[in-house]
Amino acid sequence: MTAVSSDEPLVRVENLKKYYDAESGFFSRLLGEERKVKAVDGISFEIGEGETLGLVGESGCGKSTTGRTLLRLEEATEGSVYYRGRDITNLDGEELRDLRKEIQIIFQNPQSSLNPRLTVNDIIGEALDIHGMAGADTRDERIKELLERVGLNASHANRYPNEFSGGQLQRVGIARALAVDPDFIVCDEPVSALDVSVQAQILNLLKDLQEEFGISYLFIAHDLSVVEHIADKIAVMYLGQIAEMGTPEELFSPPQHPYTEALLSAIPEPDPGWEAERIILEGSVPSPIDPPSGCKFHTRCPRVIPPEEFSFPQEEWRAVLSLTTRIAADDLDIEAVEAGLDDTSVENVASTIRGEYGIPDRLSDPEAEEVLSTALRSVIESAPDPVETGIAERFASPCTTTNPELRPIERGTAACHLFDEAHLDAPAAPPTVRQRGAED
Ligand SMILES: Nc1ncnc2c1ncn2[C@@H]1O[C@H](COP(=O)(O)OP(=O)(O)OP(=O)(O)O)[C@@H](O)[C@H]1O
């Protein structure tokens, strides 16, 4: 193993992108359009020796793709991954094989990642053989040692995967990864499929192994509560980008980025006396094929910044923006609304739509009301033709127009316009959101 120079982290990822070809429909093929799934869209981070970076976010935000691209199981579309200071994105042949000895992966479902036809002896032995890590005389001894190190019995070597419980099988997966003496392991949701009591045991095992062997982890999880006790640093991902990154303390006490805040509020509080308000994010995660303009989180953000020109109470603005987005995308199905109504007058259709979005009959700002009602009227009267209402331009805010960069804030780093100088007085975190760390 080569030593890393003191100022170079073990792993350094720079502006990494991984785009997949999207399945294209007939019309896009006809028009020669190439649609891409932007699974990872320009992320950068570092992991030091013996350190754990937790990577969290909802399903589909690009966590596994990040892990797989780091391991070179996927080819990066753009950007670089430096391992011990060396760009590994273009390695091949012998060099790539050597790299695979240093970087390993543990999967969420050992049931599907371990060959059911091989005994544990063969599964771990295979890893040793590929990298020439043990001779015929030491092979069995090494396998026995590895099994015991991960808390299994040496006699388990002759069993098949279906003879183990989920937790035991994950231990086999860990033993296999450990067999080649790796310096870096990508743990891709290693405890998500396990019972809570078993989860803690596996997390403790991973921590112990890290202490003993100085291994670095990229620890992927969809649940913040899983990483908060194992990670030195946490990166919160949303739609292929990093929304916030910092130590658990920087991220949690109190939460800063509105997305982290929402994720954190979703963690069940063990103390029944604690009354934290759960932040429900509107709608589902948008498609990575056609992500929102500006900040990718703006379509669901509870603290999205209102346009300067108007005076909006936060809740009103959130509701108006959701409707604005639909109108601007020409995605409001007026016919469907009318089909459910006896009175299909413009006023009644408009009022029904406003009701569905939780928008009051009149906005507090008369000028904003004028913009909204004019746009709504125009959409309703000319439906189903696409209508250019100009509403998106009138209600533009930094969140809808500019993708924020991940940059240092008071604690850690965040990609959010709330931390721009001009918006520091925007609505703060609801006081009901707990300050993790302070009580823990
Ligand atoms: N081979 C592929 N071809 C096309 N799209 C893909 C491919 N692999 C992943 N994607 C898409 O890329 C996006 C990111 O997927 P990824 O599996 O990395 O997310 P994730 O955060 O790990 O989610 P999960 O927790 O559900 O695994 C998703 O929209 C997914 O559908």
Which residue's CA is minimally distant from atom 8 of ligand 1? 65
Helix or strand or coil: residue 414? strand
Which residue's CA is minimally distant from atom 24 of ligand 1? 59
Which residue's CA is minimally distant from atom 10 of ligand 1? 39
Ligand 1 binding pocket mutation candidate from 34, 59, 65 (most atoms within 8 A of CB): 65
Question: Is the CB–ligand 1 distance for residue 65 below 6 Å?
Answer: yes
Question: Is the CB–ligand 1 distance for residue 60 below 6 Å?
Answer: yes
Question: Is the CB–ligand 1 distance for residue 24 below 6 Å?
Answer: no
Under 8 Å CB-to-CB from 113, ≥6 apart: which residues? 107, 173
Question: Is the CB–ligand 1 distance for residue 241 below 6 Å?
Answer: no
HSE-up of 136 (CA within 13 Å, CB side)?
A: 0
Q: Average pLDDT, stretch 101-108?
A: 92
Q: How far is the CA of 373 from the centre of ligand 1 (A)?
A: 39
Q: Average pLDDT, stretch 20-32?
A: 68
**Choice between 67 and 113, residue whose per-residue pLDDT is larger:** 67
**Choice between 422 and 211, residue whose per-residue pLDDT is larger:** 211
pTM (two decimals): 0.89
Least confident window among 93-107, 152-166, 172-186, 373-387: 373-387
Q: Which of 81, 85, 60 is nearest to 72 (CA)?
A: 81
pLDDT tens profile 106-133: 999 888 888 999 999 999 999 888 888 8
240, burial (CB in 10 Å: exposed 0-12, middle 13-18, buried 19+): buried
Which residue's CA is minimally distant from atom 12 of ligand 1? 39
Ligand 1 binding pocket mutation candidate from 56, 63, 75, 113 (most atoms within 8 A of CB): 63
Q: Average pLDDT, stretch 249-260?
A: 90
Q: Residue 269's pLDDT band (boundaries 50, 70, 90)? A: low
**Do 210 and 46 touch, CB atoms closer than 8 A?**
no
Question: Is the CB–ligand 1 distance for residue 400 below 6 Å?
Answer: no
- Closest atom of ligand 1 relative to the 58 alpha carbon: 21
Percent of the chain at pLDDT above 70? 89
The secondary structure element, H or E, covering residue 238 is strand 233-238
Q: Average pLDDT, stretch 140-147?
A: 94
Q: What distance in Å separates the CA atoms of residue 396 and residue 304, rounded to the nearest whole number?
A: 11
Least confident window among 57-61, 130-134, 140-144: 130-134
Q: Which of 40, 12, 20, 74 is nearest to 296 (CA)?
A: 40
**Which three-class secondary structure string do you get for 215-230?**
CEEEEEECCHHHHCCC
| Residue with tokens 């991902």, as numbered in its chain | 237
Question: Is the CB–ligand 1 distance for residue 18 below 6 Å?
Answer: no
Question: What was the pLDDT predicted at 253?
Answer: 81
Whether pLDDT at 82 is above 90: yes
Question: Is the CB–ligand 1 distance for residue 286 below 6 Å?
Answer: no
Percent of the chain at pLDDT above 90? 66
Q: How far is the CA of 288 from the centre of ligand 1 (A)?
A: 9
The ipTM, to two decimals, is 0.97
- Closest atom of ligand 1 relative to the 61 alpha carbon: 21
- Closest atom of ligand 1 relative to the 287 alpha carbon: 29
**Token reading at 416:** 């959010």
Whether pLDDT at 282 is above 80: no
Q: What distance in Å separates the CA atoms of residue 404 and residue 74, rounded to the nearest whole number?
A: 27
Question: Is the CB–ligand 1 distance for residue 239 below 6 Å?
Answer: no
The secondary structure element, H or E, covering residue 117 is none
- The neighbouring-strand residues paired with 68 are none
